[in-house]
Chain A
């Protein structure tokens, strides 16, 4: 059903009440995202991107409107049910990584498994975490603490954590906001690989260059979608990285 739409928003609104003033952060967004899409959500500061991402991520409930995730209406679920959905179907990547301090990369990646339904032994936890860490290129870094890793490496740990429960959708709010341009491209390259494997990716970004790694761009302004188009001249992460490498080789 839903013509393969993994995310379907119907007239979603979110209003914050702060004192006497109502802030209409999202005012009527209808959006379909099909399985396997790679969407970049763009727009000026305060246009409601993060608010919309929180709804998509089941961290928050819309004030009105409906949200179907994987065909199920999740707009009226309670706190515990939303927690289960986040655990099973969604993976989060944050701008500030949000890794647990003084905790190894492996333990950070294991975190979602601790709250899952499956009872895994410590050996199974470890094995799965190490496999996903290897997939994002962090072999040999399993026992490092976040303070011993670069920003790009920390973000990879966060991506590994988002991947460990094989989610339907990965949600990333400004994943490259704290990274330099080259590391940003590396992260985009990972997202593109995951997307190739069939995982749906939705990310917020301010940088038009970064948005060009996605397949589709959605532009927001004042809480509504203003523009929605397919990226024509798409950047390829691996190719861009090769190019950077060769130019730096020439320079030296």
Chain B
């Protein structure tokens, strides 16, 4: 039989039962749509995470107080910090390739100006911090190394803090009271938006770490030390030197764990994207299940259709249809349902991913590969779930089929 004719026959049959065809395809539409949307959102989230981590700066090594176990779980948090200002200075002095170092202390506290109160995050940093983070200023000048040495009461604030505390006023040169200590605002940062965890990165006050330690946070230890090296190829060597240096400075004997954690940007990125990879996989798997359910729907309807059209099958056989012709006809019907469902599902899935992406400020990443894969899978679902009913139809005995009521 002619292939074109088989298609014709199959399409005529589908058109005879429009509503049923649409409902059957709906299962696949939802399944494919869900897969496309979930994978698109997952990939979008992942690229967002990567972008965020890239925005930490380039060729960054972060040394944190406290140790981590081999599985990456941080221990010893909350106790006294182990990193000292002298450690940072030693790194600046002794580790090859280091171009910038920022001592970091972090705290959250109440800030105020006039009668406006605001609860925000306080970051104590060195003057190099803005270079390391590649965080430009919207207006004003950053604090200087001199400010850091003298522990001057100056600060740089983020956009959110600026609007919350100063409203429409220009904050430059104004006094911001941090724990009732008056700080002069010297600059406003460019907005950075939400972080992956949904934290508003513009809700921040950055000041010299010396001032922060003396007047806001208290204590003598650092939370982190941010180090930047000139070139990515130096990261490994620098990281190793830092570990050796700090172990020596902290008098850690061989065989004992570090009391600090050194990670480079790539490791942070890997840890973060591993989570989104798992999430993407999980969402994709759940969506895949709905695709299987859609396939079972096709099989169910095809079985009903074969039973219902037994007489038709008998008639076709009587006028010369071979088993193979009947098999192809029903298989094409099933594949048409699943492929049309697949195409509509892809369209709806892309639309859904884009909508969610826009509302969550994520990029929606829909690769041509995932579209192709979704289409191929829906065709395979049609073949897989259509085969059994089609074979059942093809194996009918013509006389029995003609006599079927």
Chain B contacts for A99, CB-based, 8 A: 315
Contact check, A79 vs B315: say whether CB atoms are below 8 A apart.
no
B19 touches A (CB below 8 Å)? no
A114 contacts the other chain (Cβ, under 8 Å)?
Answer: yes
Q: Does B289 contact A (CB under 8 A)?
A: no
Among the 9-residue stretches B88-96, B210-218, B320-328, B357-365, the one with 4 or more Cβ atoms under 8 Å from chain A is: B320-328
Taking the closest CB of chain B, its distance from the CB of A63, in whole angstroms, is 14
Is B320 a contact of A115 with CB atoms below 8 Å?
yes
Q: Are A102 and B16 in contact (CB under 8 A)?
A: yes
Evaluate contact between A83 and B320: CB separation under 8 angstroms. yes
Judged by a CB distance under 8 angstroms, whether A47 is at the interface is: no
Q: Out of B312, B321, B402, which one reaches A94, CB within 8 Å?
A: B402
**How far is B402's CA from A99's CA once the two chains are assembled, in angstroms?**
11
- Tell me whether A10 is interfacial, beta carbon within 8 Å: no
Which B residues are in CB contact (< 8 Å) with A112? 319-320
Asked if A107 CB lies within 8 Å of chain B CBs, one says yes
| With known contacts A114-B2, A115-B1, A119-B2, A98–B320 Cβ distance under 8 A | no
Instruction: Give chain B's interface residue range (CB within 8 Å of chain A).
Output: 20 to 34
Give the complex CA separation of A92 and B12 in angstroms. Answer: 23
Contact with B along A115-151 (1 / 0, CB 8 A): 1100100000000000000000000000000000000
Stretch from A53-61, A214-222, A241-249 that touches the partner:
A53-61
Report B-chain residues with C-beta under 8 Å of the C-beta of A114.
1-2, 5, 8-9
Decide if B316 is an interface residue (CB 8 Å cutoff). Answer: yes
Chain A residues touching B, range: 20 to 34
The residues of B that contact A100 with a CB separation of less than 8 Å are: 312, 315
Name the interface residues of B301-328: CB closer than 8 Å to any CB of A.
311-312, 314-325
CB <8 Å contact, B311 and A98 = yes
* A111 in the interface (beta carbon within 8 A): yes
Which residue of chain B lies nearest to A111 when distances are taken between CB atoms in the complex?
B319
The interface residues of chain A lying within 8 Å CB-to-CB of B323 are: 79-80, 83
Q: Is A84 interfacial (CB 8 A cutoff)?
A: yes
Does the CB pair B316–A115 fall under 8 Å? Answer: yes
- The answer to whether A86 touches B399, judged by C-beta atoms less than 8 angstroms apart, is no
**Pairwise interchain contact B320-A59, C-beta atoms closer than 8 A:** no
Can you show 10 pairs from A to B with CB atoms below 8 A apart? A59-B317, A80-B324, A87-B319, A98-B311, A103-B12, A107-B12, A114-B9, A115-B1, A115-B320, A119-B2
Since A98-B318, A111-B316, A114-B9 are in contact, a sample of 10 more A-B pairs with Cβ atoms closer than 8 Å, ordered by chain A residue number, is A83-B320, A83-B323, A86-B318, A87-B319, A100-B315, A101-B312, A111-B319, A115-B321, A116-B320, A119-B2
Instruction: Give the A-binding residues of B (Cβ under 8 A).
Output: 1-2, 5, 8-9, 12, 16, 311-312, 314-325, 398-399, 402
Q: Return the 3 tightest CB-CB contacts between A and B, nearest first.
A: A87-B320, A115-B320, A112-B319
